Amino acid sequence: MKALYVHGAKDLRLDACASAEPGAGQLRIRMARGGICGSDLHYYAHGGFGTVRLREPMILGHEVSGHVIGVGAGVTGFSEGDLVAVSPSRPCGACQYCLRGLPNHCENMAFYGSAMPFPHIQGAFREELVAEASQCVKAGGLSAAEAAMAEPLSVALHAIQRAGPVLGRRVLVTGCGPIGVLAIMAARRAGAAEIVATDIADGVLAYARAAGADRVLNTAADPEALRPDCAGKGSFDLMIECSGAAPALVGGIAALRPRAIIVQLGLSGDMALPMMQITAKELDLRGSFRFHEEFPTAVAMMRAGLIDVRALVTHSFPLAEHETAFRTALDRSRAMKVQLDFAAG
């Protein structure tokens, strides 16, 4: 079978990959859809991000769905033909962090398509995948494209969990790529009283407004757009920072009230922080990294119609057109979420 490997910056290759039969507790899945994530784009465009660099060819991809084509011994609740969303989160269950109830911080995490450890963890952009049944969530009633959005939605749901109570809060979301827009949807579902979204591109801000933002602000066109919200000591209760850009974080901090909460979700390397403002306002700065138990919740929310992700999937391409797919995904003026369609010829 074929899989999509990244060998370095701007070096994608569709090469052969060994197939396997499902063992005990496993499912064999014919892949249907795979979403191109920001980390996939960093590997493609730059060969890595921050201190994480490619050191060997790696199969990309971790936002995937597919249909069951084989059921291993001891597996119940799944049948051939079932559409499943596949979680890339595979904690060991035995390290100190797993035992403390923090599986997203597993010391032996095998997260699809990650160059953090070496050897790298191979990803899921392949024609077939053997996965643990425990990773898979039945997604009947959803399209394959929707099911593949369970992973990024889980990231947003984990950020809302890290934020604490959202009911009645004024929420600022900075950065309106797919994760930012999903964070808006999740915050609205969690009961936010008002959501303001900022970005530097009008195109993505239109998605933010459609997702439920009460106000959208282009901080490139108007660098003072948040000034009214900075009056006094600030007015927002919560900021979910999804861009990973220092100007967005710094600008948002000025608009936060004392003892507000910052959830840093965007990843793009280290940033300088205005520590005097953080200290003087007694702000809580909380990281949000990956997810685990939120994955079945994400699928359930989509199946129940509580969160509708369909409008975010703006493009799909056959696996053979991977180069075009990745170039499209890099163009924020055109694309929100780009997916690879493994079933397309």
Question: From first to last of its 345 residues, what are the pLDDT tens digits of the chain?
Answer: 999 999 999 999 999 999 899 999 999 999 999 999 999 999 999 999 888 999 999 999 999 999 999 999 999 999 999 999 999 999 999 999 999 999 999 999 999 999 999 999 999 999 999 999 999 999 999 999 999 999 999 999 999 999 999 999 999 999 999 999 999 999 999 999 999 999 999 999 999 999 999 999 999 999 999 999 999 999 999 999 999 999 999 999 999 999 999 999 998 778 889 999 999 999 999 999 999 999 999 999 999 999 999 999 999 999 999 999 999 999 999 999 999 999 986
Q: pTM (2 decimals)?
A: 0.96
Which amino acid is it at 42? H
User: For residue 282, what are its two tokens?
Assistant: 């007694």
pLDDT of residue 344: 85
pLDDT of residue 255: 98
Rounded to 5 degrees, what are φ and ψ at 83? Answer: -80, 130
Residue of 20, 31, 35, 33 whose CA lies nearest to 68: 31
Report the distance separating Cα 236 and Cα 90, nearest Å: 36
Length of the chain: 345
User: For residue 108, what are its two tokens?
Assistant: 């032996």
pLDDT of residue 345: 63
Count H helices and E strands in the chain, helices first: 10, 18
User: For residue 124, what are its two tokens?
Assistant: 């899921």
The structural domains of the chain, ordered by start, are 2-149+309-341 (3.90.180.10), 154-287 (3.40.50.720)
For the sheet containing 58-59, what is the strand order?
A: 11-16, 2-8, 58-59
67 and 81 in contact (C-beta within 8 Å)?
A: yes
Report the distance separating Cα 232 and Cα 214, nearest Å: 22
Burial (0-12, 13-18, 19+ Cβ within 10 Å), 321? middle
What residue ranges in the chain does DSSP mark as E strands?
Answer: 2-8, 11-16, 26-35, 48-49, 52-53, 58-59, 63-71, 83-86, 128-132, 136-138, 170-174, 194-199, 215-218, 236-241, 256-264, 284-287, 313-318, 337-341
Kindly report the three-state secondary structure assignment for every residue of 255-297. Answer: CEEEEEEEEECCCCCCCCCCHHHHHHCCCEEEECCCCCCHHHH
181 and 204 in contact (C-beta within 8 Å)?
A: yes
Report the distance separating Cα 33 and Cα 144, nearest Å: 6
pLDDT of residue 326: 98
Half-sphere exposure of residue 74, counting CA atoms within 13 Å on the CB side?
A: 8
pLDDT of residue 203: 94
